[in-house]
Structure 1
Amino acid sequence: MRDFKQDVKASGYIHRPLPLDSSRSFEKQQLEKEAIAKYRSLTDNFQNWQQRGRGEIKQTEETVTLLSATRYDTWAKGAPEDGDYVNFGEVGAYLPIPREDWSEFTQIKLDIAAECVNVINPNITITLENDGEIKIPDIYNREGTHVINLEGQAKRTYVLDISNLPRDVVTGIRIFTGANGSYMNLQGQLSYTISSLFLEQNQNSTSAKGWKVPSQEIVFSHIGYHPDYSKTAIINSEDFTAATFELKSEDTVIFQGEIQETTTENGTFGVLDFSTVKEPGTYYLQIADMKTPNFQIGAVSTLKADSIWKSLNFIFCERCGCPVHGIHGTCHEDLTVEYKGSLVSFNGGWHDAGDLSQQLVQTAEVTSSLFEAAETVKAQPDLYLRLIEEGEWGIDFILKTRLDEGDRVTSAGITRWTDNRIGTMDDAVPRIHNSPYDNFLITGLLAKIIKSLPRDYAMRAQLLQVVKEDYQYAFAGFKKTGFKHEPIFWEHTYNTSKSLFLATMSWTAALMYQLTAEETYQEQMTEWFDELLTCQEQTGLDLSDGTILKGMFYRDETHKVFQHFNHQAREHLYALAFEEVLTASPKHAKAEKWLEHANEYGDYLDYLGQFTDPYPMYASGIYREDEWQDKESFYRQHLLVDDEAEVSYQEQLKQGIKIGDDLYIKRFPVWFSFRGNNGILLSMGKSAAVLGRLLNRPTLLDKGHQQLQWMVGKNPFGQSMIYGEGYNYPQQYSVSSGELTGEMPVGMQTFGNEDQPYWPQFNNATYKEVWVGVAGKWLSLVAELIKSEKGYQ
């Protein structure tokens, strides 16, 4: 096993990427465990390959090769004239299939060799087409497509599990790759040769849908358990005849317990509860001959120390405008926009996701999380200083994109490596906006950073000047436009509701008051916070089981549409507003009432924690049956949808749990093109941890811990969603930069309109797309949990 501390040191403490450890990857285990019962070669059909897109294909009786330049001087046919959010085109090969039923086969296996020159992250994409009862690709072009990041250029065998895909009427396979630019704009060549294409029936193919635990497995938290909180693991009770389990350390039995059978809305499970064990150490679970790998019981700072380094590594590897060893050189120097007769550069910060787009708000939130994490690890100077350094890279971007009187360069849609030469055809033009909401949010993020800095920090005075000015620009803009949103839905704050706007403003004002002691901030904080509380359910809704549910927030004071998130998630800002307002004015006449409403919000989070039992995942929230009829709200929450989404909303809701007249709980959000709930869970976990610490409520702190556990193993597939952390982690959609240690995806999705987890090997966007925003939220929640530990100073 690798020496992780030595890897960190050898990387210069993350000044070059950490090495990849594929020894515990999903793909490695997939090959090791396969048991092929039947196979069929598709190589006989190779003479039928058809060329698609740019470049060319070359065929032999046993191979097909994709050939293309890495860039072109024109955009591909059908691309937008300004090149917004496109690469230089694709080269592909299409193999028509005469409407065959492949249901008996569970995987596709193929060999791929590459002879690419100056290509950043050689990869190919496979799309399976089905024209049966369920069509793939789906209407959002997400389902049925998978990217393979090649492990070097030598010929290797790759496997793709199709056991969970509709494949009753297969009409074709498309294999393609993108002309995406080249390393430092050196002349480049794409060359991929595909051979030995097989259909196979693997008797050990894994389930990718539903709540049932994988056969003969124990689902547990790879990232360990805290001594003070619940400790459980989950099995499919039908798989085991034993009535007891053992917790062991170095072959010594530490605890023996009965396997408890439990039945919930999600099925019948066996639960292994060892919550009474509190002694820190390294353990494993055993039932008969079945053992788990090792895990730890210990403090957050111990359990999550490696994950902080890995998250930092992922964020560093996504740097824009900075060479990253082994991945890319200086990039995107030609992202410029004209402003008042001058050019403003937009490279810097971090690439948003698996593509290369750039979002100011995303970078600002990640920046704040880095400083927040740094504040909690001061006892580890190497990690503390490295987090601060990476955070300063983010601050630089926030400042360089700051223009006059609240104007900011906000985003750029780009998914290619450009030539870095200003004025050529591949330039991307960033957007400029003056958004009061963005200005309040970014001001609050910077104010929170300042609050954490030592008094002698070199830039503290300058940052304080910036937030004072930007707060006034935000306030002036708000006085003019009120709760107005950005006009372009690509902005990361497009779905902001009035209540979230108010939570952000009151949180920011509270921080400004703490930094300056100027009463104007306190007055505005109180006014906005009181208005926010009119958006909270305080009377209570009568549910079918007699429960009176309150504490949750609506999108505004009309109480027509509940606040929920389906992609971008800022649930934690409600809890942060409570925390900072009470910190700023602990003796305010309304403070007792504010605490009461904070507790009611905590009660709501506690309520949501039961609907995915025995798994730890928070349910996404409460929904009303007629919410889709509020069209302005609906189409702000859901991007890239058409009228079909209104019908689909109602179908998705009926898959949830009815709790009252026209009221439903959805375990996963109502969503369409944009799917994946890690950001949502981490944001809700942050809310729970903040309120748990603020209100001294251990159950909320426990639930914050559990959202991390869900991401690292304690889910129905026993997989880690952080590459290199825990066990059984799969390749993700990291198409531009390749697999990265610490990468985290958008999150688990659902299939169609269902309300159960779906996690296929297929790694298309958005659900398996790596996303720095998730890493930022991970760091923020970990930092919050460290703060809550007993004795933490």
Structure 2
Amino acid sequence: MKKYILYILLVPPLLLFLSACEETKTVSEGNFNFNREFPLEAPVENSLLTQWARKEVKDSLLIDDMEGRNNWRMTEGIATLEYTDERSIDGKHSLRYHTSMKDTAYIMLPENRTPWGSFGGQQGGGAHFGITFDEPQDWTAYNRISIWVYIHPSKTPIHHFFLDIVNQGTDYNTTTPRHDTVIQDLVPGKWHNVVWEISDLPRNRVKQFNIFQTLIGYEPGNDEFVTFDFDRLQLQKVDADHYDGWNIPNTQFAYSHIGYRPYDIKQALTDISKVDEFQLLNTQKEIVYTGIAKPINNKNGSFTLLDFTDFTTPGTYYLSYNSHESKPFPINEYVWLEPMFSGINFYFCQRCGYEVPGIHGICHQDWQGFYNNEKKVINGGWHDAGDMSQGYYRTAIGAYVLLRNLQQVKDKPELTGLATKLKDEALWGLKWIAKNRFSDGYHISWARQRIYSDNTIGTSDDVVIKAVNVPWENFLGAAVLTLAEQYYQDIDTNLLEEMRETALENWQQAYKSGKGWNKATYLETSWGAIASILLYQKTNDDKYKEAALCFGRLLTECQETTFQEGIPITGYFYTDSDRKTILQNNHSAFNEAPMLALRNLCQAFPDDQDWMKWYSSAVIYSDFFLKRGSKFSAPYYLLPTAVFRKSDMLAIEDENKRNFSLIQFNDGTALNDEYTLRTFPIWDSNLFHGGTSCHLSTSWALAEASRLRHDKSGMQLVGKQLEWTFGHNPFNQTLMYGVGYNFAPQFAYCTKNVVGSLAVGMDCIRGDKPHWNGSTYATCKEMWIAPVNRFMGTVAAFNENIDSMKQKHNIQISIEKEDMSASSQKAVIRLIGEGTHQLAMHLQNATTDFQSQKVALVKGEEKKIEVTFNIQDTNKPFVAAIIADADVQLINDVSGAYY
């Protein structure tokens, strides 16, 4: 007989965390200084670049001293190469590279033009040069490449180039790392020693070493040409960084670099050791806490857990264990506001059509869109990534998450500066959504842009994009603009009216596209529901309510709630209500959308007949997919990315993709012969890698479900995902540039590395385990708006204003549940509190003899109620939700399953 004990507190459980930190001082703007001007400067002393430069070189081998041996050849592009005696690191010469940043002939090639005659937005050309060795070179005794470069001063603010090695006989495929890296952000007018760790790359038969540059154009007023001098190419041997697997190198800690809130779980991991105790030190290096180090051994390796959850005193601290110390971190109520502030800086630096100091001027004023006879300039919003493309949902979700964070801080006087930054930045995105509107629901969904144009309409580099009608994006735009209205009553009335009109028209055009809405994608149902709810709450028009309820029904049809073929995982979603294709993502994801919709539906329509379907959908997704799936990546507890079917892999037509998909399928956790669960996505190419965007999308989903349920354990699991992003990972690296320690350079070749950016993210090569090497390439190391959007969404939910959750009823409920059989379960409800309360129970896949009833509680006494759950379908989970006093804010639940 198994026993499960679940304590259900019918006040929001997050309130309980506050008891541990009642004496916590609130942050002041003087401490965090949210009035700092953007762009923010990165603390380069905390970067990996600084660490790499300090490494001891234990051995080296000169490859070329650039003394004129004519080893280098141009292989592509319009650049020139020559030796120069103007400057050198040693010897007398260096190799000079000189090129225009735009190849007009390349831009005019037919394959680079659209059917309507404009430039397609590709690179402005390229320039490649390198060495081809007569005989393959064995470089395995070395693990780093070093080269010196001098960039000639010019009016161009952006400089980059790539290094590349080609190993003869290596099959570069979906499950091998890329063999190039980008170098950027170098200051002109001085020599730089550029290094590249290549420990993960095959290098036993190196045939070529290449340097190349993608031409990114130039803005009016900047110089057309760039000149680089290169010298002293050599191989080096250093102590390489850890780059693959779950294990933690000796002397390193996996912990949250940005700190912990006093009432959160506070844990760190390190390598296995026989030392029994660890210490927490203050800034004077005095011991303020001693804890027991707990060994962990599982399929992912051997670790030591350092748990200091019960230490709640705010301050700055170090971990000390086995004669090693971590870098300092805070314990503070508002530790998550600093990375949020840095995220706002990222959006600012990605602004299109705006002068961003040190990066670009008012850009892309000749970027246009059209629909039929309508044509307009479409610059604005935020650039998408390391290039300068633009996408509707990227900017729209960016505006949405900025508004969600604004909701959390707007009423805190001490956070006025932060609220102002959020409001100003969100408005930049909102303006573009309203501007980017054509007739009949058409808009610019995606626009590729990889050059700085001349800002003049009618020239060869104009990028002109055809508008399209994407219903779910129209619902998204309607939702964002409707949500925004309450915050911008003080803006220009014409702009406000344009935002209102756009929201209404977007919704109408999207809704009529469904032709009755008998089926829909998960994105259409999710954002259709959210937009309809917001418009119903604004207008009280029943057509929006009816639409929201329709989308709610369709959304639950997109979910799997059965344990297929007896596997222990369920609750995941399909791509649409036909339920044929399991929702799986690789490098970009929208997993948050269903949980956002379900939370909005449950809160907007608490008396609807489908309420329990919506609520149980969030419970099953959380408990039987995410929570169960996270155990396979213990002790990090990363959320799973997806369930995969072998039959889907075998059905892939392309033989190469099919074979590599099967390899990755087999690397996952087998649920049975047909189904596998993976922590990391299955990649379908060598380019589109990176799991952080998907991971944070799922983290946001769990955060929204946990907010709905007031689920303490769920929100704690969300915290683990955020902490992974900021250093609690095997590499002891923060993944956000400029925040925390050991942040790596990102692929941002058209702009610069900017504080607050996140790359597409953690890679996986083999074994469904993390891979994070020293190379900087697209897409896994590419700066993208998508993961920042998902981080900002997650942290908005995680930072929910728990101070405002008042304890309305003095009642505490615990349920002791016993497994009696596969079809029935008995439980004892234990009540503690005072006063009279009305209890009601809602059920999914179960019946019970429990009746809605009033209970009179006496302070200090416990009341018991026996309940029997009769499970209707043992191949599905059951969910019971208990509500006190008809207040859905005072809710908690219990779930269970035979499997």
TM-score, normalising length from structure 2?
0.80
CA separation in 2, counterparts of 1:157 and 1:399?
47
CA separation in 2, counterparts of 1:277 and 1:12?
31
Instruction: Specify the alignment match of 1:777 in structure 2.
Output: 790
Matched, 1:158 2:170: no
Instruction: Specify the alignment match of 1:268 in structure 2.
Output: 302
The one-character-per-residue Cα deviations of 1:211-234 (angstroms, maximum 9, x if unpaired) are 121232111110212333322211
Q: Is the 8 A contact 1:25 1:730 kept in 2?
A: yes
- Partner of 1:210, secondary structure, is coil
CA separation in 1, counterparts of 2:318 and 2:731?
19
Q: 2:635 aligns with which of 607, 610, 614?
A: 614
Q: Which one-letter code corresponds to 1:354 in the other structure? A: G
Instruction: Specify the alignment match of 2:890 in structure 1.
Output: none
Instruction: Specify the alignment match of 2:892 in structure 1.
Output: none
- Partner of 1:610, secondary structure, is helix
Q: 1:471 aligns with which of 485, 502, 507?
A: 507
CA separation in 2, counterparts of 1:338 and 1:538?
44
Instruction: Summarize the Cα distance change of 1:338–1:467 in structure 2 as closer, same or farther, 3 Å threshold.
Output: closer
Instruction: Specify the alignment match of 1:666 in structure 2.
Output: 678
- Partner of 1:66, secondary structure, is strand
Instruction: Specify the alignment match of 2:862 in structure 1.
Output: none
Q: How does 1:535-614 map to 2 (within 5 A)?
A: 535-541=558-564, 543=566, 547=568, 549-603=569-623, 604-614=625-635
- Partner of 1:561, secondary structure, is coil
Instruction: Specify the alignment match of 2:357 in structure 1.
Output: 325
Q: 1:59 aligns with which of 53, 73, 83?
A: 83
- Partner of 2:702, secondary structure, is helix
Instruction: Specify the alignment match of 2:102 in structure 1.
Output: 71
Q: Which one-letter code corresponds to 1:264 in the other structure? A: N
Pick which of 739-748 and 274-283 moved more. 274-283
- Partner of 1:113, secondary structure, is strand
Instruction: Specify the alignment match of 1:343 in structure 2.
Output: 375
Instruction: Specify the alignment match of 2:159 in structure 1.
Output: 122
Instruction: Specify the alignment match of 1:423 in structure 2.
Output: 458
Q: 2:43 aligns with which of 18, 21, 37?
A: 21
Instruction: Specify the alignment match of 1:297 in structure 2.
Output: 331
CA separation in 2, counterparts of 1:105 and 1:78?
44
Q: Is the 8 A contact 1:110 1:159 kept in 2?
A: yes
Q: Which one-letter code corresponds to 2:435 in the other structure? A: K
Instruction: Specify the alignment match of 2:21 in structure 1.
Output: none
Q: Is the 8 A contact 1:118 1:182 kept in 2?
A: no
- Partner of 1:74, secondary structure, is helix
Bigger Rg, structure 1 or 2: 2
Q: Is the 8 A contact 1:561 1:624 kept in 2?
A: no
Matched, 1:414 2:449: yes
Pick which of 183-192 and 259-268 moved more. 183-192
Instruction: Specify the alignment match of 1:499 in structure 2.
Output: 522
The one-character-per-residue Cα deviations of 1:184-243 (angstroms, maximum 9, x if unpaired) are 2544211111111110111x1112111121232111110212333322211121xx4422
The one-character-per-residue Cα deviations of 1:13-60 (angstroms, maximum 9, x if unpaired) are 43x412232111001112223342343443379521011221211136
CA separation in 2, counterparts of 1:125 and 1:8?
37
TM-score, normalising length from structure 1?
0.90
CA separation in 2, counterparts of 1:503 and 1:437?
8
Give the C-alpha shift of residue 748 in structure 1. 0.7
Give the C-alpha shift of residue 607 in structure 1. 1.2
Q: Is the 8 A contact 2:370 2:467 kept in 1?
A: no
CA separation in 2, counterparts of 1:783 and 1:337?
33
Q: How does 1:273-288 map to 2 (within 5 A)?
A: 273-288=307-322
- Partner of 1:124, secondary structure, is strand
Matched, 1:689 2:713: no
CA separation in 1, counterparts of 2:562 and 2:212?
56
Pick which of 371-380 and 326-335 moved more. 371-380
The percent identity for this pair of structures is 26
Give the C-alpha shift of residue 447 in structure 1. 2.7
Q: Is the 8 A contact 1:62 1:196 kept in 2?
A: no
Matched, 1:245 2:278: yes
CA separation in 2, counterparts of 1:75 and 1:101?
37
CA separation in 2, counterparts of 1:371 and 1:580?
16
CA separation in 1, counterparts of 2:31 and 2:276?
42
Pick which of 256-265 and 47-56 moved more. 256-265
Give the C-alpha shift of residue 329 in structure 1. 1.0
Give the C-alpha shift of residue 537 in structure 1. 2.0
Matched, 1:170 2:170: no
Instruction: Specify the alignment match of 2:645 in structure 1.
Output: 624
The one-character-per-residue Cα deviations of 1:398-443 (angstroms, maximum 9, x if unpaired) are 1111111201122211100000011111111123101222212222
The one-character-per-residue Cα deviations of 1:158-178 (angstroms, maximum 9, x if unpaired) are 111011111111111111223
CA separation in 2, counterparts of 1:462 and 1:86?
33
Q: Is the 8 A contact 2:434 2:498 kept in 1?
A: no
CA separation in 1, counterparts of 2:111 and 2:728?
42
CA separation in 2, counterparts of 1:323 and 1:699?
45
Instruction: Specify the alignment match of 1:217 in structure 2.
Output: 252
Instruction: Specify the alignment match of 1:492 in structure 2.
Output: none
CA separation in 1, counterparts of 2:256 and 2:462?
45
Instruction: Summarize the Cα distance change of 1:7–1:424 in structure 2 as closer, same or farther, 3 Å threshold.
Output: farther
Question: Alpha carbon RMSD of aligned pairs, Å?
Answer: 2.6
> How many residues are matched?
755
Matched, 1:107 2:128: no
Q: Is the 8 A contact 1:616 1:709 kept in 2?
A: no
Q: Is the 8 A contact 2:35 2:417 kept in 1?
A: no
Give the C-alpha shift of residue 454 in structure 1. 6.7
CA separation in 2, counterparts of 1:786 and 1:31?
37
Give the C-alpha shift of residue 511 in structure 1. 2.4
Give the C-alpha shift of residue 125 in structure 1. 0.7
Pick which of 60-69 and 525-534 moved more. 60-69
Which ranges of 4 or more aligned residues in structure 1 deviate by more than 4 Å? 4-9, 76-79, 138-142, 451-462, 480-483
Q: Which one-letter code corresponds to 2:367 in the other structure? A: L
Q: 1:399 aligns with which of 434, 437, 452?
A: 434
Give the C-alpha shift of residue 354 in structure 1. 0.3
Instruction: Specify the alignment match of 1:743 in structure 2.
Output: 757
Pick which of 551-560 and 356-365 moved more. 551-560
Q: How does 1:495-534 map to 2 (within 5 A)?
A: 498-534=521-557
Pick which of 31-40 and 186-195 moved more. 31-40
The one-character-per-residue Cα deviations of 1:725-745 (angstroms, maximum 9, x if unpaired) are 000011110101112122211
> Where in structure 1 are there 5+ consecutive unaligned residues?
484-496, 636-641
Q: Report which of the two has the higher share of strand.
A: 2
- Partner of 1:320, secondary structure, is coil
- Partner of 1:405, secondary structure, is helix
- Partner of 1:303, secondary structure, is coil
CA separation in 2, counterparts of 1:298 and 1:542?
47
- Partner of 2:353, secondary structure, is coil
CA separation in 1, counterparts of 2:287 and 2:804?
30
Q: Is the 8 A contact 1:55 1:69 kept in 2?
A: yes
> Where in structure 2 are there 5+ consecutive unaligned residues?
1-27, 85-91, 807-899
Q: Is the 8 A contact 1:242 1:288 kept in 2?
A: yes
Instruction: Summarize the Cα distance change of 1:686–1:451 in structure 2 as closer, same or farther, 3 Å threshold.
Output: farther
Instruction: Specify the alignment match of 1:638 in structure 2.
Output: none
The one-character-per-residue Cα deviations of 1:354-412 (angstroms, maximum 9, x if unpaired) are 00111122111111111111221222111111211111111111111111120112221
Pick which of 473-482 and 379-388 moved more. 473-482
Instruction: Specify the alignment match of 1:639 in structure 2.
Output: none
Q: Which one-letter code corresponds to 2:94 in the other structure? A: T
Q: Is the 8 A contact 2:260 2:330 kept in 1?
A: yes
Matched, 1:714 2:728: yes
CA separation in 1, counterparts of 2:422 and 2:198?
41
Q: Which one-letter code corresponds to 1:86 in the other structure? A: Q
